[in-house]
A and B are shown apart, each in its own frame.
Chain A
Amino acid sequence: MTGALAYIAFVSIKNRVLMAVRKLKNARYLISALFGLAYFAMIFGRNIGRNSKKFSLALGYDSIGMDIAAGIMFIILLVVWAWPVDDAGVELSESEIQLLFSAPVSRRGILFYKFMRAQLPILISAVMTTVMMGHWRNALGMWFVFASLSLYMTMVQQLRARLRRMRVGFVVRLAVVVAILAGLSWTAIHAGTFKTPLVEALTFVPRFFAMAALPNVPLMWRLLSFVVVSAIGALCFLISASVDVDFEEGSMAISRRKANTITRQRSQQSGQWIAFKRLPPPFRLAATGAAEVAIIWKNLIASLRIGMMPIVILFATMAFLVTFSFFVPPPATKIFGVWMLVMCGIIPLLGANLFSQDLRLDMTRIEYLKTFPLSGERLVAAEMAAPMIVMSIVELIFLGITSLYLNFHVAEGGVARYATPQNILCVFIFAVPICAILTVMRNAAVLLFPAWTLRSKEEPRGLVVTGQRLVVAVGNAIVLAVTLVPAAIVFLPAVLIANRFFSGSPGFLAVASLPPLAIIAGEVWLGVRMLGKYFDSFDASNELDRIMT
């Protein structure tokens, strides 16, 4: 049975690696992997060069560095006992639970399988940690430590569950751990040193973990520490396998909790976490009229129920600052005013990320969208309208409050003179098209590269996903810069002409801003048209494995 479990664990790891390698045949994965590799090489390369000198000191059994490391390790090993979770078992996937718990596999077998399955992530963590420390050659020692620690954690988890059955709950465990730490500190303070016989005895075992993990430890000590750490791991394994607890039931509870957490996190990351379920629709949907309104209505509901939290936080912060400003001296009110101005500038840029209730939210239902009786162009435009409306309203309110605040509080100050109605209006009419361009870009990314921008069960990890994010971020920045260039070119002569002929009159604003606005609006229209055409010809079957979560 052990052989079969080892085989499953080995084959799982092998297949995972092979799948990752196979994906690199696809150019977009290869490019993003190369970007990710370059990024990590840059970060780690810098760390190797920078940190290698920090650990040049040889660390013997009794050195101060080793004492500190052993002390930290002791605290880690102790604090685990105070962890609130007291279910027995181990965390497994849904399919692992179905397969392993219904098969004639002993608890020892399941623990062994879990241990084997964890080795690849543990090895990667060990390599990453040692590279970050600048001593990648010590990865083997770190691997021993992490592997043994994982077995120790598993053992403590079973023992916490056993303690619960003995009516020793979280509070008692926490109290004991705190008492031990306080007692040790008290004795150390009285003795004037931490190197008391008691501390020496308590850190005896953790010292071997520290010696295995740290660089520049003499070879003999290192080899000895490997043996001790491995023996401790084996002992923990045997204890875990023999403690009298509800192993299967606990495993299912832990696994269910973990699955729920992952689902919630994914929902939050992809903007699908519904914060305000019962918020009513923003308006009553009439039976007749343009079909697009239905999409806008739907996405406005999504914006309210999903994207309301950032709006609440933004306005709560603003309300707090405005209220607080009545009780603070002028320098602080000026700082608040500057913060509000900065936020007015940032909202158009951040808004496209904060409010993603458009194609980005609906892409996982692309099959359903494709059955709607709407042309691609109309559907894409309608999808993007809701976040645009929300962003525009938020920006308008922010600008209005900021303008009032600056004129009320900072009337004689420098920033107040910029908060004129003319300037505020100018900022607003530019902010909306910029929001529109950013929204088009984000939606274009999700439609053109769904595998890069959406999260799915089989999403790539590590190098590839880091590279993808880099490529998307750089791509967005480049496209934004390029799309704003024509408007910027037109803006300069428009301002000069407005200044020459309409200086001081309301016509100044119109002449200066309308030409660049027209260009941005034209770009948005062109973008929507192109995306619409692309949507019409979009073949979901080629992307299904990537977008159907």
Chain B
Amino acid sequence: MHPIEVIALAKSYGDFPAVKDLSFTVKEGEILGLVGPNGAGKTTTLRALAGIHPPSSGQIRIKGYDIREDGVDAKRHLAFFPDEPRLFDYLSVDEHMQFIGRLYGVPDFRANIEPLLTEFDLQDKRKAMPAELSRGMKQKLMIACGFLHQPAVLIFDEPLTGLDPLGIRRMKESISRRAKEGASIILSSHLLHLVEELCDSVLVIQNGSSIAYGTVDDLKWQIAQGRGDVSLEEAFLRITSEEAAAK
């Protein structure tokens, strides 16, 4: 059993099939990069995994719990980081952390808040309200909140949006460290160099379907076909353009 198991996932908006027959797994300590062109169905997939959008069909298991049948247990083990941080306007930074700590039943959460705020450069903003934070800081707060209960499954949708260079470096370090500690991570991003740098495996989706799935090296080798090294970006562009041409 893997921490993340997705079997024949499908999600439709009315008559429009956003995701079709998607299957993949993420092992402990693995980082899976979810890439695809705009409108490919990446965010829909991530939201279904986080239990936000109920799947139209198929199965999603988080640490063995079905997201539909045992949603509460599944959600205890995961943290979802959307591309757009939506904080509570009326809670300060510190209160956000306390709220999440109690919500997830983190024992002695107050002791864990300080290191996280330091990790994300928010220690001077403890009393600040979201309106007083920049977009990047809001993003950092959202991520700090998500890390508080030390989830086994982390789902990132464009995690670097709005972060400054130092924030980007720290974010990458945080993600890597958590993977090394055993967390299973899915990372969706258009920044293919980030995916190449951080991820162990890649799932390329287009028009809601999987068009390539494997380790980063496998994908690159498959595209290069013995003709030297190619970047993930090159591999991605070739795969998606070949798929589009085939259609």
- Asked if B86 and A368 sit within 8 Å, CB to CB, the answer is yes
> From residue 291 to 311 of chain A, which have CB atoms closer than 8 A to chain B?
291, 293-295, 297-298, 301-302, 305-306
- Asked if A371 and B75 sit within 8 Å, CB to CB, the answer is yes
- Asked if A371 and B99 sit within 8 Å, CB to CB, the answer is no
Judged by a CB distance under 8 angstroms, whether A277 is at the interface is yes
With A and B bound together, what is the CA distance between A537 and B68 in angstroms?
Answer: 9
Q: Given A539-B53, A539-B54, A540-B53, is A301 in contact with B90 using a C-beta cutoff of 8 Å?
A: yes
Closest to B145 in A: A368
Give, as a whole number of angstroms, the nearest-CB distance from B93 to chain A: 13
Give, as a whole number of angstroms, the nearest-CB distance from A288 to chain B: 6
A-B contact count (CB 8 A): 93
> From residue 405 to 445 of chain A, which have CB atoms closer than 8 A to chain B?
none
Complex contacts, A505 vs chain B, CB 8 Å = none
Give, as a whole number of angstroms, the nearest-CB distance from A382 to chain B: 10
- Asked if B75 and A372 sit within 8 Å, CB to CB, the answer is yes
Complex contacts, A541 vs chain B, CB 8 Å = 11, 13, 44, 47, 53
With A and B bound together, what is the CA distance between A286 and B90 in angstroms?
Answer: 20
Complex contacts, B14 vs chain A, CB 8 Å = 542
User: Besides A287-B110, A372-B103, 5 other CB < 8 A contacts?
Assistant: A291-B102, A370-B52, A373-B104, A539-B54, A540-B52
Q: Which residues of B contact A (CB under 8 A)?
A: 11, 13-14, 44, 47, 50-54, 71-73, 75-76, 78-80, 82, 86, 88-91, 95, 98-110, 129, 131
Complex contacts, A368 vs chain B, CB 8 Å = 82, 86
With A and B bound together, what is the CA distance between A539 and B51 in angstroms?
Answer: 10
- Asked if A302 and B90 sit within 8 Å, CB to CB, the answer is yes
With A and B bound together, what is the CA distance between A372 and B107 in angstroms?
Answer: 17
With A and B bound together, what is the CA distance between A372 and B50 in angstroms?
Answer: 10
Complex contacts, A301 vs chain B, CB 8 Å = 90-91, 95
Closest 7 CB pairs between A and B? Answer: A294-B102, A373-B75, A294-B103, A373-B76, A370-B52, A302-B90, A365-B86
Complex contacts, A295 vs chain B, CB 8 Å = 103
Complex contacts, A289 vs chain B, CB 8 Å = 102
Q: Given A371-B51, A371-B52, A542-B13, is A291 in contact with B95 using a C-beta cutoff of 8 Å?
A: no
Closest to A298 in B: B99
With A and B bound together, what is the CA distance between A371 and B50 in angstroms?
Answer: 6
Closest to B100 in A: A294
Q: List 17 A–B pairs whose Cβ atoms lie within 8 Å, in order of A's numbering.
A: A287-B110, A288-B107, A291-B104, A294-B102, A297-B99, A301-B90, A301-B95, A302-B88, A306-B90, A364-B86, A365-B88, A367-B52, A373-B76, A539-B53, A541-B11, A541-B13, A541-B53
Closest to B88 in A: A298
Judged by a CB distance under 8 angstroms, whether A274 is at the interface is yes
With A and B bound together, what is the CA distance between A289 and B91 in angstroms?
Answer: 21
- Asked if A371 and B80 sit within 8 Å, CB to CB, the answer is yes
Closest to A369 in B: B52
Judged by a CB distance under 8 angstroms, whether A375 is at the interface is yes
Complex contacts, B89 vs chain A, CB 8 Å = 272, 274
Judged by a CB distance under 8 angstroms, whether A58 is at the interface is no
Judged by a CB distance under 8 angstroms, whether A330 is at the interface is no
Complex contacts, B91 vs chain A, CB 8 Å = 298, 301-302
With A and B bound together, what is the CA distance between A301 and B89 in angstroms?
Answer: 11
Q: Which of A272, A302, A370, A371 has the most CB of B within 10 A?
A: A371
With A and B bound together, what is the CA distance between A405 and B156 in angstroms?
Answer: 59
Judged by a CB distance under 8 angstroms, whether A281 is at the interface is yes
Partner of A285, one of B11, B98, B129: B98
Closest to B77 in A: A373
Give, as a whole number of angstroms, the nearest-CB distance from A130 to chain B: 43
Complex contacts, B80 vs chain A, CB 8 Å = 371
